[in-house]
Amino acid sequence: MNAEDQLIRRISQRVPSQSGWASGTLRLGIGDDAAIVAPRGGVDLVLSCDAFLEGVHFLAKTHPPDSVGYKSLARATSDLAAMGATPRFFMLALALPVERSGEWLGEFLRGMGRAARSLGMRLIGGDTTKSGAVAINLTVLGEVASGRGLTRSGARPGDLIYVSGVLGRAELGLKLVLAGKGRRRSVAAIVRPHLYPRIRVALGAWLAGRRIASAIIDISDGLSTDLTRLAEASGVGARVRIGLIPATPVPEPASRLLGNRRLNPLQLALHGGDDYELLFTVPRRKVKRLRAAPGFAELTCIGEITPERHLLLVDRHGKAKALKPRGWDPFRR
């Protein structure tokens, strides 16, 4: 068995996976040239792919390797949650330097394995190669009842806009990690959303199964950017009330470690990426049904959809200004 085959065997042993012939939805897993997945009657398959690259999305010398493994799978799976799909399988294409194929890889696989178990997913194949930097490419597959998949394009004027969770936490955690303070015990809870994001799979599936949400997107690149995408896809506008946005506070220990920088919680919430919370719209006639949603206490109505095709941010005095997409953009000059 050559070194690459040994590496593949190591991956399949550490990450929940399926080799050879199987039954049910999965027909063939790891060990051949491709996996075979056969959808059941009445089920739509939902697929997405995601790249997680050293020097772009993480720093191998700064971010814990188990976080890199966990987050790479979690962030890819967030796309399935935003479609209302239940995650099932994933494929991993992994390129890494030889010096990271030992202890670093072991910790990376530990984190990815933890994410796979928490999300109920199985690795069914992929590819490995040598590279000068770590490059992780994932293809994720989920299932949703036929015709129940959610999209960005269904929002209508008068629909209310909801978000899950608290926004800006991941951006605050990133600032601490980049400042070299992320391993301090005093900020462990603050850094966790950046390193180990929580994916709202149950909420997405519930919204799809009960046809509650008219449109949905995950907040991967910041509220301002992802709301713009949803509005453009739906051909609508939005009014967001500043006082309703669930913005993260900046605790004193975090501020002190960052040199007492005056961080604006609103700006973190509007433009910080990596939250992987769900942003969705609900017709007013269905709002009462939302009370039965998983994690309802963590949902916040922040505004409403409008017919005019622009986004407005409204302060407590009713004064409105344009909300521009200023979240993560890898190609911004």
Give me the percent of the chain exceeding a pLDDT of 70. Answer: 99
Nearest to 72 by CA among 218, 197, 216, 223: 197
Q: Are residues 317 and 174 in the same domain?
A: yes
Q: Are residues 174 and 292 in the same domain?
A: yes
Q: Are residues 134 and 78 in the same domain?
A: yes
Query: What pLDDT, on the 0 to 100 scale, is given for residue 210?
Result: 96
- Token duo for residue 255: 């501020």
Q: Are residues 263 and 298 in the same domain?
A: yes
Segment 3-24 shows an average pLDDT of: 83
Segment 106-119 shows an average pLDDT of: 98
Residue 212: give the domain boundaries. 160-322
The answer to whether the CB of 83 falls within 8 A of the CB of 149 is yes
Nearest to 95 by CA among 121, 46, 128: 128
Query: What pLDDT, on the 0 to 100 scale, is given for residue 96?
Result: 96
Give the Cα-Cα-Cα angle 286, 236, 85 (nearest 5 degrees).
Answer: 55
The answer to whether the CB of 304 falls within 8 A of the CB of 161 is yes
On whether residue 107 sits in a domain, the answer given is yes
Which of 145, 178, 198 is at the close of a domain? 145
Label residue 63 left, alpha or beta by phi (over 0 means left) and psi (-120 to 50 means alpha). Answer: beta
Q: How far apart are CA 115 and CA 219, in angstroms?
A: 19
C-alpha 129: how far from chain center: 26
CATH code of 59's domain = 3.30.1330.10
**Coil, strand, or helix at residue 34?**
coil
Listed range (40-49, 89-98, 320-329) with the worst mean pLDDT: 40-49
Q: Are residues 26 and 62 in the same domain?
A: yes
Total number of domains in the chain: 2
Q: Are residues 100 and 72 in the same domain?
A: yes
Confidence of residue 1 (pLDDT cuts 50, 70, 90): low
Q: How far apart are CA 178 and CA 165, in angstroms?
A: 24
* Mean pLDDT value across the chain: 94
Confidence of residue 247 (pLDDT cuts 50, 70, 90): very high
Q: Which amino acid is at 106?
A: G
User: DSSP code of 294?
Assistant: T
34 or 124: which leads in pLDDT? 124
Q: Are residues 102 and 223 in the same domain?
A: no
CATH code of 314's domain = 3.90.650.10
On whether residue 332 sits in a domain, the answer given is no
Q: Are residues 138 and 196 in the same domain?
A: no
Q: Are residues 296 and 218 in the same domain?
A: yes
Is 5's pLDDT higher than 80? Answer: no
Q: Are residues 50 and 193 in the same domain?
A: no
Q: Are residues 218 and 267 in the same domain?
A: yes
Which of 115, 145, 175 is at the close of a domain? 145
On whether residue 151 sits in a domain, the answer given is no
pTM for the model: 0.93
State pLDDT tens for residues 71-94: 999 999 999 999 999 999 999 999
On whether residue 18 sits in a domain, the answer given is yes
On whether residue 57 sits in a domain, the answer given is yes
On whether residue 328 sits in a domain, the answer given is no
Query: What pLDDT, on the 0 to 100 scale, is given for residue 81?
Result: 97
Confidence of residue 103 (pLDDT cuts 50, 70, 90): very high
Whole-number CA gyration radius for the chain: 21
Q: At what angle do helices 201-209 and 65-81 cross, to 10 degrees?
A: 10
Q: Are residues 136 and 198 in the same domain?
A: no
Is 32's pLDDT higher than 70? Answer: yes
Which of 103, 122, 145 is at the close of a domain? 145
47 or 261: which leads in pLDDT? 47
CA distances from 209 to 24, 203, 212 (A): 22, 10, 8
The answer to whether the CB of 135 falls within 8 A of the CB of 55 is no
State pLDDT tens for residues 176-187: 999 999 999 999
Partnered with residue 128 across adjacent β-strands are: 94
Helices (H), 62-182: 65-81, 103-119, 169-178
CA distances from 34 to 20, 125, 135 (A): 11, 7, 21
- Token duo for residue 50: 């995601």
On whether residue 124 sits in a domain, the answer given is yes
On whether residue 153 sits in a domain, the answer given is no
